[in-house]
Amino acid sequence: MRSIVLKPTLLAITVCLSLAGPANLHAENAPRILPDFVPVSWLPLMVQALTKASIPTEGIALASTRTGIQKEDSVTLLVQSIEGKTLRQWAVALIINPRKPEEKKDTSPALTLYLSTGNKIDFSSTLGEGMFIHVIGPFSQAKGSAKAKDVWSSALINPQFLGIGLDAVPAFILRMKQVADHNPSFKDKRFSIQTGSAPFPPEQIASNRAMMEPFAITAAEERSFAGGPLALMDFFNIAAQTPGAKDILFEAVDIPWLKVATHGGRFQVDFSFLDPFERLSAVDWGLPPEAKVYSMGLRISLFGEPALLCRLALTTPRVPLLNCAGIVGLAAMRPNGKGPHVMIRVMAAKPAPSAPIP
């Protein structure tokens, strides 16, 4: 699919957990400090601009029963960057739109990923769907709308990947922690699940199966472990094609440009899920009280070196939150603490009343 702009030569997803004691579950090599979620609200000038552009600024409505995307399903993101005393904001509206005629046959290839427990997860070839990306900004406290632009662009998304979401990962890890807390024999033991593009060695599979057996991981949970990073890739691919947001992305990520140049402009990308894994208040994220929202850390490495630390707020990617893979909040910064602190939050979401995309 043409929406894939980060083309990894290797995609290695690792969830490594270690038990330091019955009450403590930590991710291997987890950083001491992850970026915090910070409260965000629209700058007054942004509200005026968004109202004029008919972009919703508040309120998350979820489709009651529909699972497939439709034209005009929309999500509004507030993207905020703070560096020193400089605060900048963008509004990003993600709106499902029919594919262009030249994109009618664009598909992502079928994909198989392997788990270190010996199972494999198959993802079918998927026809890309269209998405309009409407960006307004940046607005700042100091310069107001002096440098703001109103830009439309488009991308192809993979609804199969975005529909997997990532919320099942912290949900399973929290369940795993509960089991471990009530089993003293797990003290100081390390548990891991890894996903790769090739089968794992038989001895590693045998060890991992025996290790994970007490936790009774389900097929759906395994698919989430394997597919969650694919949802992340599609989410970051959308960001990488979004005017304004892509500028923030490149400001925030510590990219080893020399290695990129020597690899023909291709990235070797690794995702690691990190603790703390926590349950959050759904109401705090503008969702119904019964919705389940989780938080977890994420480390993105390029060529084996940490490049970005994130804290994610995740929920089930019910329409229209499928547009953003169920990611309702993201805080990001460089591992060295330099550069901007980036906060992305879903501020509004609205399912379309229209007929399904043909």
- 128-158 pLDDT per residue, tens: 888 999 999 999 988 888 888 998 888 888 8
User: Do 267 and 259 meet the contact criterion of CB atoms below 8 Å apart?
Assistant: no
Q: Rounded to two decimals, what is the model's pTM?
A: 0.84
pLDDT computed for residue 294 by the predictor: 98
pLDDT computed for residue 5 by the predictor: 31
pLDDT computed for residue 143 by the predictor: 84
What length is written for the chain? 358
What span, in angstroms and rounded, lies between the C-alpha atoms of 9 and 251?
23
Mean pLDDT of 317-346: 93
Q: Among residues 243, 240, 228, which one has the least CA distance to residue 168?
A: 228
Q: Given its phi and psi angles, is residue 297 left (phi above 0), alpha (psi -120 to 50 degrees) or beta?
A: beta
Collect all residues with Cβ–Cβ distance below 8 Å to 95 and sequence separation of at least 6: 72, 73, 74, 131, 132, 133, 134, 323
What span, in angstroms and rounded, lies between the C-alpha atoms of 134 and 150?
7
User: Do 17 and 235 meet the contact criterion of CB atoms below 8 Å apart?
Assistant: no
Largest pairwise CA distance in the chain: 62
What phi and psi, each to the nearest 5 degrees, are found at residue 95?
-125, 120
What span, in angstroms and rounded, lies between the C-alpha atoms of 252 and 342?
7
What span, in angstroms and rounded, lies between the C-alpha atoms of 220 and 79?
32
pLDDT digit string, tens, across residues 271-298: 788 888 999 999 999 999 999 999 999 8
What span, in angstroms and rounded, lies between the C-alpha atoms of 94 and 77?
8
pLDDT computed for residue 9 by the predictor: 33
254 has a pLDDT exceeding 90: no
What span, in angstroms and rounded, lies between the C-alpha atoms of 26 and 45?
43
31 has a pLDDT exceeding 50: no
What phi and psi, each to the nearest 5 degrees, are found at residue 153?
-145, 180
What span, in angstroms and rounded, lies between the C-alpha atoms of 203 and 308?
33
Q: Which amino acid is at 20?
A: A
What span, in angstroms and rounded, lies between the C-alpha atoms of 32 and 49?
39
pLDDT computed for residue 267 by the predictor: 60
pLDDT computed for residue 77 by the predictor: 95
First-residue to last-residue Cα distance in the chain:
19
What span, in angstroms and rounded, lies between the C-alpha atoms of 247 and 265?
18
343 has a pLDDT exceeding 50: yes
Mean pLDDT of 327-349: 92
User: Do 332 and 308 meet the contact criterion of CB atoms below 8 Å apart?
Assistant: yes
Structure tokens at 252: 């925030």
Give the residue with greater pLDDT, 275 vs 104.
275
Tell me how far the alpha carbon of residue 208 is from its chain's centroid. 26
Q: What does the angle CA 279 – CA 309 – CA 14 come to, to the nearest 5 degrees? A: 75
Structure tokens at 82: 């703070």
Q: Given its phi and psi angles, is residue 162 left (phi above 0), alpha (psi -120 to 50 degrees) or beta?
A: alpha
Q: Which amino acid is at 319?
A: V
Portion of the chain with pLDDT greater than 70, in percent: 79
214 has a pLDDT exceeding 70: yes
pLDDT computed for residue 15 by the predictor: 44
C-alpha dist (Å) from residue 78 to 8, 128, 160, 305, 344: 28, 25, 25, 29, 6
